[in-house]
Amino acid sequence: MKYICEFDVNSHDIDLRGNLRTSAVLRYMQEAANLQLYTTGYSYDQMRADGRVYILSRLNLSVYGAVHAHDTLIAETWLYDCHGAVFNRAHRLFCRGVLAAEAITVWALVGIEDRKIYRVTDIDTSKHTDTDTVGIDAPGRINLRDVSLSLCGEREVYYADCDGNGHMNNTVYPDMLFSFAPEAGRKTGGRVVSLNVSFLSEAPLGDVLKIYTAQSDGVRYFRTVRSDGKTNVEAEMVIE
């Protein structure tokens, strides 16, 4: 079943151009998903108490229109086409009756202690599932093997970045990556219109990430690497 709820846009989620930050777009989408879990009797806290947690592996996000402080957002979210150990979740945000953003996020259900990967058949997802689809493709694995990336900076993982899992929350990444784009250094900044991210390993509290980037044919590419040499995320971003 599709879950629909309403949010009033917080003025602290607005960037220097007066638009909703990309990380905030993702937060409102995921908060709708959290509310769906909560209202159907299997909250994120209950999931953690059962020793399991959803981990984001990939996302594809498109942002179509500017959203401003105190606008009202109508959020829609649902699971669809879940199979094997893959939980696909669709998201839409409407503002003033117009589609403002949509995304597909791909999740794995993982044991907190034993790191067991659960299958879709291990839990009841019937209350969260719908057959509707969004207008963008499901995210595939990003391959930056042929992209010549350059180191552009480092970023420590701070307390404020982390969630209850002890690592950087996935909603921090959009704004963090954009901050390392040369386009963000302009006085007027820019606006992210699409973002594709592959999450490859967690960024734990206190670690220092090396940020690599490149630009080609209108696409900004990123790779972040942990202090142990493991790739953290790879991303493709289009900035207007």
Q: Which residue has the tokens 């979740």?
A: 89
Contact between 208 and 161 under an 8 Å Cβ cutoff? The reply is no
pTM: 0.94
Handedness of CA 19, 7, 91, 144 (dihedral sign): positive
How far is it, in rounded angstroms, from Cα 7 to Cα 73?
5
Looking at residue 187, its pLDDT comes to 58
Handedness of CA 183, 189, 194, 196 (dihedral sign): positive
Looking at residue 48, its pLDDT comes to 86
How far is it, in rounded angstroms, from Cα 59 to Cα 163?
18
Looking at residue 186, its pLDDT comes to 62
User: What is the CATH number assigned to the segment(s) 3-128?
Assistant: 3.10.129.10
Which stretch of DSSP H or E encloses residue 45? Answer: helix 44-49
Instruction: Count Cβ neighbours within 10 Å for each residue of 178-214 and write b for 16 or more, e otherwise.
Output: bebbebbeeeeebbbbbbbbbbbebbbeebebbbbbe
Per-residue pLDDT of the chain (240 residues; tens, 9 = 90+): 999 999 999 999 999 889 999 999 999 999 999 999 999 988 888 888 889 999 999 999 999 998 999 999 999 999 999 999 999 999 999 999 999 999 999 999 999 889 999 999 998 899 999 999 999 999 988 989 889 999 999 999 999 999 988 999 999 999 999 999 988 766 566 889 999 999 999 999 999 999 999 999 999 999 999 999 999 999 999 998
Looking at residue 223, its pLDDT comes to 98
**Fold equal for 3-128 and 150-239:** yes
CA-nearest of 225, 161, 173, 163 to 197 is 173
Contact between 104 and 60 under an 8 Å Cβ cutoff? The reply is yes
Q: State the fold for domain 150-239.
A: Thiol Ester Dehydrase; Chain A (3.10.129)
How far is it, in rounded angstroms, from Cα 48 to Cα 88?
20
Looking at residue 141, its pLDDT comes to 87
Contact between 150 and 99 under an 8 Å Cβ cutoff? The reply is no
Domain ranges (residues) in the chain: 3-128, 150-239
